[in-house]
Amino acid sequence: MNTTKTLSAVSSRAQLPQAKRLVVKVGSSSLTTVEGGISQERLDFLVDTLSRTVAAGTEVVLVSSGAIAAGLAPLALAKRPKDLATQQAAASVGQGLLLAQYTAQFAQQGITVAQVLLTADDLMRRTTYTNALRALVRLLNLGVLPIVNENDTVATHEIRFGDNDRLASLVAHLVKADALLLFSDVDSVYDAHPAQGGSRIPLVGHPDEISAIDLGTSGSSVGTGGMITKVQAATLSASAGIPALVTSTANAARALAGEDVGTWFAARNTRRSARDVWLAHLAVAHGRLMLDAGAVRAIRSGEKSLLAAGITSATGDFEAGDAVEICDASGTVVARGLVNYAALELPAMFGRSTSTLLADLGEGYEKPVVHVDDLALI
């Protein structure tokens, strides 16, 4: 397991102007018109704001929604399609249009941009995870502003992040950002709907502070996210050591200047790798492994792989490489991990030592059930 024993150097919103590296996410509704096309005025404002931040010496990674939304009008689609194939078609058309606009506008500010398209699978597989990290860091070192989006054209339901808020949280951990900024059309998190007298929540120190608030479920007509996804992404980021700010795109300049806008999610705990964060909170689990007390203690140390000897039972239908939940005897999830064996293989392995499995079942059974590098503690 890969954790970094430090919190972000940015501990408050007032310190954002001193940040060395930021991940900024902007939603579809902040970039597009009501009809679904790209709003030149909104895009110009965002580019101008981020360009001033870069000029001040802060590296910026932009996670931008809007590809599907930008593709609606050219395809004569009245609203965001629900079926995956049409979403992929709209993304294919819209991504090029969106990047062309970004390229032209940032070029006027003397900034070169690069397109980086990711799927969840890219951050789950060790090789592609390392390649994504290497590419992003190299781009930043070369003075390029990476523009990241989910690769909607090829992503399936099984390997989607689901929304770019979660993607932004993973990217922030991937590039070890000082903070994550989530911009949308809502200026803050409120304790109730503003129209019903709700008050702005300026600071969240722990998720329990807002757990009882009804944040709603739906996003805009051109996007997949809503306030609930932003709070989830901000909470996820903060709980793994990177603070997050949720505010409106209209407040972007003030936010980046360190002013008291939006809702600040204070960093807690130690930093974790993006892969760890994905495994612990976002990966779809295809089954469960039940452990005895000794195996639970070994797993919780953070230094041991899960061996068959400590497993008492398993449920679910999974193949080698799938994510599973790892539970104690009471059913409490203590970790998640990528399993090295299929569900059908495991029953014959329960409670048996690695040496016995190798002798009885042959080569290929010397691997741990879940390697420590593929384990994320909950």
Q: CA-CA-CA-CA torsion for 217, 222, 224, 230, nearest 10 degrees? A: -70
Asked if residue 229 belongs to a known ligand binding site, the reply is: yes
Asked if residue 185 belongs to a known ligand binding site, the reply is: yes
Place of tokens 């899960």: 306
- Residues with Cβ within 8 Å of residue 73, at least 6 apart in sequence: 35, 36, 37
Asked if residue 131 belongs to a known ligand binding site, the reply is: no
Six-digit token string for 175: 């590039």
Whole-number Å distance between alpha carbons of 150 and 170:
12
Asked if residue 313 belongs to a known ligand binding site, the reply is: no
Whole-number Å distance between alpha carbons of 220 and 164:
13
Q: Quick one: which H or E segment has residue 313?
A: strand 311-316
Asked if residue 241 belongs to a known ligand binding site, the reply is: no
Asked if residue 249 belongs to a known ligand binding site, the reply is: no
Asked if residue 197 belongs to a known ligand binding site, the reply is: no
C-alpha angle 240-244-249 in degrees, rounded to nearest 5: 150
- Residues with Cβ within 8 Å of residue 219, at least 6 apart in sequence: 29, 163, 225, 226, 229
Six-digit token string for 255: 């936010």
Asked if residue 1 belongs to a known ligand binding site, the reply is: no
Place of tokens 């060395």: 20
Whole-number Å distance between alpha carbons of 58 and 23:
10
Whole-number Å distance between alpha carbons of 168 and 178:
13
DSSP H stretches of helix in 175-321? 227-239, 252-256, 274-277, 293-300
Whole-number Å distance between alpha carbons of 154 and 303:
36
Asked if residue 184 belongs to a known ligand binding site, the reply is: yes
Q: What is the 3-state secondary structure (H, E, C) of 318-355?
A: CCCCCEEEEECCCCCEEEEEECCCCCCCHHHCCCCCHH
Contact 111, 142 (CB under 8 A): no
Asked if residue 230 belongs to a known ligand binding site, the reply is: yes
| SS3 assignment, position 248 | strand
Asked if residue 224 belongs to a known ligand binding site, the reply is: yes
Whole-number Å distance between alpha carbons of 190 and 196:
11
Annotated binding site for substrate: 65, 152, 164
Annotated binding site for ATP: 25, 184-185, 224-230
Annotated binding site: 25, 65, 152, 164, 184-185, 224-230
